[in-house]
Amino acid sequence: MPYARWLSLAILAVCLAGCGTRYVSSASARDLSGTFRFGGMDRTYTLHVPPGDPVGLVLNLHGGGGTGTGQQGLTDFDAVANAHSLLVVYPDGYDKSWADGRGVSPADRHHVDDVGFLVGLAGKLSNDYNIGAGHVFATGMSNGGFMSNRLACERADVFAAIAPVAGTLGVGVACNPSRPVSVWEAHGTADPLVPFNGGDVKGRGGISHAISANNMVDKWRSVDGCQGIPSAGALPDVGDGTVVHRFESTACATPTEVVFYQIDNGGHTWPGGKQYLPKAIIGATTRALDGSESIAQFFLAHARD
């Protein structure tokens, strides 16, 4: 074999083994465990890689006391990620919590820079998997929902759309986004932990104070310059005791949209997800709305060019 050809093949073999940080797409989905060094700490995460080349990145954030893998199981987001070619990362919060700005979580009390961590992690994964700017999104449950809102409030340049579930924003937490952000939000009217109408939230670190779901939605409608009254409708009744109302604002700054799902009689749960604790403790999980599928479709429809 000529030396030049041998050398070229050798270089190609080395590069396939690890030149740069780009990853070769796979014909089958897979989960990877990772560590990202930030703020003097090794932060861990679980990454779900769909078959083929991903077209977007979703940060899926657990609730207080939870873990990334727990959120993965609760939401079953991997299935819709595979169907829609989305890369999904399930990070682990500091001491099972996020610094969402309310001041009482372990992460807040230790002044953890979770905005910096999550933006840094999103940047790394976007680079590794060639995810374009404007195709990065965040969703989360409870403490993770609050954190999703904070990410959009502080880094609207990074997150094109968010989908908070059972989480709003702490009273007094600043929210002055640098640009409009598309928002999908869902909240149960019978949520016993994060009150639909706002007020005291009893968490692991003590009592914090949250704004109401409607005030959070109105905030984003204002940020996005939405005009007129939202269109309203109800999803088909599936007989589980919940009724899901959909409020949609589309006359907003292009290409943003604000969609709010008010789940009458719904609890502190992920729509269509697992009933992870008895109804007597967290309330009912609606089966009228597949939250993960709806969120995935919303994200893909509201990527930025």
Domain ranges of the chain: 23-301
C-beta of residue 117 within 8 angstroms of C-beta of residue 44: no
Listed residue (133, 172, 178) closest to 152, CA to CA: 178
Residues of the chain with pLDDT under 50: 1-21
Question: Residues of 279-293 as b/e, b for ≥16 C-beta within 10 angstroms?
Answer: eeebbbbbbbbbbbb
pTM of the model: 0.91
pLDDT at 23: 58
Token couple for 196: 């639909």
Listed residue (66, 56, 118) closest to 296, CA to CA: 56
C-beta of residue 244 within 8 angstroms of C-beta of residue 262: yes
Cβ-Cβ contacts under 8 Å for 147 (sequence gap 6 or more): 61, 98, 99, 100, 114, 118, 138, 140, 167
Over pLDDT 90: what percentage of the chain?
Answer: 90
pLDDT at 14: 34
| pLDDT mean across residues, the chain | 93
pLDDT at 170: 97
Beta-sheet pairing, 182-188 with 258-264: parallel
Task: Measure CA 197 to chain center.
Answer: 22
* DSSP H or E segment with residue 217: helix 213-223
Q: Architecture of domain 23-301 in CATH?
A: 3-Layer(aba) Sandwich (3.40)
pLDDT at 203: 87
> If you search the block for the tokens 């989960």, which residue do you land on?
31
- Round to whole Å and give the CA distance between 234 and 230: 13
- Round to whole Å and give the CA distance between 45 and 34: 5
Determine the residue type at 17.
A
pLDDT at 153: 98
